[in-house]
Amino acid sequence: MIKTLILLATTWSVCAHAEVHLDRIKLQKGFKISVYASDIKGARSMTWGEKGTLFVGTLEAGNFYAVTPDHKVHTLGTHMNMPNGVAFKDGALYLTEGNRTLRYDHIEDHLDDLPKPVVLRTDYPSEKFHGWRFTAFGPDGKLYIPIGAPCNVCEIKDPYAAITRIDVKSKDQSSEKNREIVARGIRNTVGFDWHPVTHQLWFTDNGRDMMGDELPSDKLNHITKKNMHFGFPFCHQGDTIDPEFGKDKKCSDYTPPDLKLGAHVASLGMRFYTGHMFPKEYYQQIFIAEHGSWNRSKKVGYRVVSVKIDSKGKVLSQEIFAEGFMQNEVAWGRPVDVINAPDGALLVSDDESGTIYRISY
C-alpha cells in the first residue's frame, strides 16, 4: 500500500537548463529533499571516491564531473563520447564512454589537473543507439559493463543485448577472453546493483517501443545462475511474444522479470539501500529512478520508486517514493540514478535540471 505523501515547501533555481521546483516534490512521510549540488549539465550515473568525492557521468553533455565534500563542482573531461559509466576502485576512476573504458589513477588528488588516462579497452560497439553504458564493480572485483541492443527491437549476436564483465587487473585488457558475458536477452540496462547479503546482481531493463501505451513493461530482474536469458527480442515482460521476432518462440523458455515496472517509465538507476538514516523497513530494499516516457500519449514515470523484497529475493511490493518532477505533462526534472550517501541519505541525479538531490529522513 502506498503511504501518505507529503508536500515539502522549498524552491531552488539552478543555472543548468531547467528551473528546480522542490516545492512540487511529494515524498513519503518524514522525508525531505534538498539540493546536494547544481550546475551539473546532464547529470546521470554516480559513484563515490574513497575520499568522499562524488563522480558524475553524462550522456549528451559529453562531460564528467567531480563533486567534493564541500559541494564544489569540478568539470573534468569535456567533449567526450557519452561518458556515462563511472566506477571507482583502488584510488582510480574507471570511466566508460561509448566504445572505450579509461582509468584515471589517483584522481581525487588531481581534480584541478586531470591526469592522462590509461586506456583499457577501445572495442565496445560504436553505435549511438543504446550506446551509453552504466558500469559498476561487482563483489568479484570485476567491472560490469552492459552492451545494449543497437535498435528498438532486433535479433542481434553477442555481445549485444547483454551484461558483460572484464577483469581490470588482466595483463591483456584488449583480449576477447577478458570480456565475459554474464547474461543475455537484456535490451538495455542503465542501472544495476548487488544484493548486500546474497551478492546476486539485480538490474533494470527498458522495454521495447512501438507496441502501444501499455506494452511492454520495463523490468526488474536478477541473476541467480550462469547463462540466463531474459527474453529480448523474442519475449517481453515475461509473457508477451514479440510480433516480429517471437514467432515459434515461447516465453517459458526465458527468465521472467521479478517485477513489471510499467510500460515506458524508463527505469534507469537502481540501488539497494544500505544506510541507517531511513526507517528500518527500507534497509536492504531497492530504490529505482524512473527517467520518464517520451513515447506515450500520456506521460508516465518521472519519479523515484521503492521496491521491497524478502530475504529470498521475492518482490513484496512497490511504492512511489518521490514524485512531482512533472506537472501537466511538462517535466522540469528527470531522475536518472540513485546512490547511497555516506551519511545514510539518498542522492538522486537529474539530467534535465543538472542537479543532484539529497533525500534525508
Contact 22, 12 (CB under 8 A): yes
Q: For residue 23, is it within any domain?
A: yes
What percent of the chain lies above the pLDDT cut of 70? 95
Is 6 among the domain residues? Answer: yes
Is position 56 within any domain? no
Over range 216-224, report the average pLDDT.
98
Start-to-end Cα distance in the chain: 20
In a domain? residue 14: yes
pTM greater than 0.75 (yes/no): yes
Kindly state whether residue 338 falls inside one of the protein's structural domains: no
pLDDT of amino acid 358: 98
Question: What pLDDT does residue 17 have?
Answer: 56
- For 263-299, letters b (16+ CB in 10 Å) and e give bbbbbbbbbbbebebbeeebeebbbbbbbbbeebeeb
Binned at pLDDT 50, 70 and 90, residue 16 comes out as: very low
22 is a domain residue: yes
Average pLDDT over residues 262-266: 98
Which single residue is written with the C-alpha cell 544500505?
274
Which of these ranges, 28-32, 176-180, 280-284, 321-325, has the smallest mean pLDDT?
A: 176-180
Amino acid type, 148: G
CA 326 to chain centre: 20
| CB distance 340 to 277 below 8 Å | no
- pLDDT tens digit string along 76-105? 999 999 999 999 999 999 999 999 999 999
Residue 233 forms part of a structural domain: no
Count the domains in the chain.
1
Q: What is the pLDDT of residues 102-153, one digit of tens each?
A: 999 999 999 999 989 999 999 999 999 999 999 999 999 999 999 999 999 9
276 has a pLDDT exceeding 70? yes
pLDDT at residue 7 is higher than 80: no
Quick one: average pLDDT of 206-213?
96
3 state SS for 328-357: CCEECCCEEEEEECCCCCEEEEECCCCEEE
pLDDT above 80 for 174: no
Query: In this prediction, what percent of the chain has a pLDDT beyond 90?
Result: 91
pLDDT of residue 6: 37
pLDDT tier at 8 (50, 70, 90 boundaries)? very low
**Per-residue pLDDT, 4:** 37
Query: Which are the contacts of 72, defined by CB distance < 8 A and separation ≥ 6?
Result: none
Per-residue confidence (pLDDT) for residue 189, from 0 to 100:
98
pLDDT tens readout for residues 178-202 = 899 999 999 999 999 999 999 999 9
Helix (H, G, I), strand (E, B) or coil at 63: coil
Residue-range definition of the domain harbouring residue 28: 1-35
pLDDT at residue number 346: 98
* Mean pLDDT score, 148-175: 93
Q: Does the residue 15 lie in any domain?
A: yes
- Structure confidence at residue 176 (pLDDT): 77
- Per-residue pLDDT of 297-317, as tens digits, reads 999 999 999 999 999 999 999
- For the segment 17-69, what is each residue's pLDDT rounded down to a tens digit? 579 999 999 999 999 999 999 999 999 999 999 999 999 999 999 999 999 99
